[in-house]
């Protein structure tokens, strides 16, 4: 009897409960999305702004809360001992800045959309089979002072990835494209769901393309790093002096469940090549990562081949290559 009672308590203690509020008005927010970024696991707040979600499979990952017209909030170190009260900041300032896009701006809008698609979805083979199904919800602002195009989405961006067989919901928090340097920056949060219309033939095609997207990816790298299996997975890691470094030189484990990547000066990553084709620039002293391939994206800047992997090439953290 004691054994089964403990199972019940452990299961129960994995449930997070809370309520979502507007930070300005303190009113509850209905239909906010509560989810683990980069997965298909999530729920919605009810008419009272309340929610509950099982975190047992994603204990190492932060929880993200998003809603239309609000900045997303990410919660770390989740506690199951108290009811959460979560306040979202409205995006009123940015929305008020948006210029109505009439016919006189049609050409400019087409150009901006092309830039947005290329930088957001990417330019790999998979990107050409990706469609943003609600482009009308995307607005652009041009800042002449620093020659920058900013994109805002008044609703979550909906993406149909016909290459990998996923429907994607993306809550965009920021997108900036710097025209003079042709560099860009965007951040947000993503939810996956599988294409429900898939038949057996399509599923086999999707699986082959998913596996191709996984091999040599950032997810593949961090999963191999977690189990200290870089060499057999095909990865070679070098420091800024072009010296090959091993697991013990770059991975620091604070306890049995948390691992961090650290290296002064950055890292070069080779995948079945002699010289690095991808590079990690550290924005933080150490970067948390887990066995699913999740990593703290706010602490890393990517360059080279892995930097080309955008929304069209991403896989949910639940993905596992089939043999």
The two tokens of residue 238 are 């070098």
1-24, pLDDT tens digit by residue?
Answer: 333 334 344 444 588 899 999 999
Q: Is the dihedral of CA 117, 278, 189, 42 positive or negative?
A: positive
Domain locations in the chain? 2-90, 95-194, 200-313
Alpha-carbon gap, residue 53 to 55, rounded angstroms: 6
What is the C-alpha separation between 94 and 91, in angstroms, rounded?
A: 6
pLDDT at 79: 72
Q: Is the pLDDT of residue 228 over 70?
A: yes
User: Whole-model pTM?
Assistant: 0.86
Q: Looking at domain 2-90, what is its CATH homologous superfamily?
A: Carboxypeptidase-like, regulatory domain (2.60.40.1120)
- At 47-66, the pLDDT tens digits run 999 999 988 888 888 899 99
Count of CB atoms within 10 A of residue 129's CB?
14
Residue 174 has pLDDT above 70, yes or no: yes
């Amino acid at each position: 009897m004691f054994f089964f009672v403990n199972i019940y308590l452990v299961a129960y203690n994995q449930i997070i409960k809370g309520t979502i509020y507007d930070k300005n008005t303190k009113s509850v927010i209905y239909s906010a999305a509560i989810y683990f970024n980069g997965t298909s696991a999530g729920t919605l707040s009810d008419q009272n702004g309340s929610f509950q979600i099982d975190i047992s499979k994603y204990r190492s990952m932060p929880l993200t809360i998003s809603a239309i017209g609000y900045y997303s909030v990410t919660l770390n170190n989740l506690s199951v001992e108290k009811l959460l009260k979560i306040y979202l900041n409205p995006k009123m300032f940015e929305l008020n800045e948006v210029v109505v896009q009439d016919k006189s701006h049609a050409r400019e809008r087409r150009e901006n959309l092309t830039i947005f698609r290329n930088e957001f979805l990417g330019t790999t083979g998979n990107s050409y089979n990706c469609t943003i199904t609600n482009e009308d919800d995307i607005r652009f602002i041009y800042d002449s002072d620093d020659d920058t195009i900013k994109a805002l989405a008044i609703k979550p961006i909906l993406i149909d990835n016909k290459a990998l067989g996923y429907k994607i919901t993306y809550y965009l928090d920021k997108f900036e494209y710097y025209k003079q340097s042709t560099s860009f920056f965007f951040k947000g949060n993503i939810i996956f769901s599988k294409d429900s219309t898939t038949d057996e033939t399509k599923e086999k095609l999707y699986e082959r393309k998913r596996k191709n997207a996984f091999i040599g990816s950032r997810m593949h790298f961090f999963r191999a790093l977690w189990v200290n299996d870089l060499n057999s997975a095909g990865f070679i890691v070098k420091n800024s002096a072009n010296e090959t470094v091993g697991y013990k030189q770059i991975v620091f484990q604070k306890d049995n469940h948390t691992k961090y990547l650290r290296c002064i000066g950055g890292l070069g990553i080779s995948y079945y090549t002699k010289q690095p084709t991808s590079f990690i620039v550290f924005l933080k002293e150490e970067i948390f990562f887990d066995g699913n391939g999740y990593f703290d994206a706010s602490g890393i800047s990517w360059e080279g081949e892995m930097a080309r992997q955008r929304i069209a090439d991403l896989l949910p953290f639940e993905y596992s290559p089939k043999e």
